[in-house]
Amino acid sequence: MFLLFPGEWHNYSPDPSTGWEEHWIGFEGQSIDNWVRNRLLTPDKPVLRVGIHDEIVNLYRAATEAAMEQKSGFQQVLSGIVHHILGLAYCYDRNYVFESSEVSLINRAKIIINEHFKTIHPQAIAEELNMSYSNFRRIFKEYTGLAPIQYIQAAKISKAKELLTNSPMSIKEIAWQLGFENHEYFFSIFKKRTGCTPAEYRRITQGHI
C-alpha cells in the first residue's frame, strides 16, 4: 500500500508484464492528523507491506459502493471504512514478516474467488497459484474450513442474499447473474445453505412475511 501525503509529487507504475488492479482513496481530517502526529503514518515510510488480504480489497469495494450510492450518512460510512483500512494496513505491515507463504496464497485465492466467483473453477485457481489442485484443495480447506468449491458457492449465496434484498431482479435473473446452471439448481443450493428458498428469503428481508 502506497501512502501519498499532501503536495507530494509521485510517479509509479506496475511491471508491464503483469500489470495491476489499483484501488485508491483520498482522506483528510483531525483524526488522520493525529495518526501523522503520532507517527503511525509518516512520509518516512510511505509503503506499507500489507500482503494479500481479501478483507482490505472488500473494504475498498465497500467504499466505492458507498461513494457511488451516496445514501444518507455515506460520509460517516466512508470515514469508518478509511480508519478500518488504515488500522488493518498498520497491523499487517507490523506483522508482515510473520505471515507464511501458505497464508498469502490462500488470501490470494480468496480474492480471486470474490472477484470472479461467477465463472471461476477451483482448478483454474490452483493453476494461477502454480499449485497442484490436490495440494491447493488441502491447504485451502485447512485454512478456511471449506473446500474451494464450497467457498465459491458460499460467495455466490452471499451475493444472492444481497441481490434478493436490495435489487428488483427476478430470482431467475439472479441465478443467471451468479453463474448457476439453472434456477432449479440455485433454489436447491440456496435452501441447503440458508434453510429457506430464495423467495422466502426475499419476503423475510423485505418485511413482507
Domain-wise residue ranges, the chain: 1-99, 101-209
pLDDT of residue 38: 83
pTM for the model: 0.58
Beta carbons of 43 and 8 less than 8 angstroms apart: yes
* CATH no. of 101-209: 1.10.10.60
pLDDT of residue 209: 43
For each successive 10 residues of the chain (209 residues), what is the average pLDDT?
88 83 85 86 87 85 89 90 92 72 84 88 92 91 88 91 90 90 88 90 75
pLDDT of residue 7: 87
Beta carbons of 179 and 116 less than 8 angstroms apart: no
The residues, ordered by sequence, that sit 6+ positions from 91 with a Cβ below 8 Å of its Cβ are: none
| DSSP SS3 for 5 | coil
C-alpha of 63 from chain center: 11
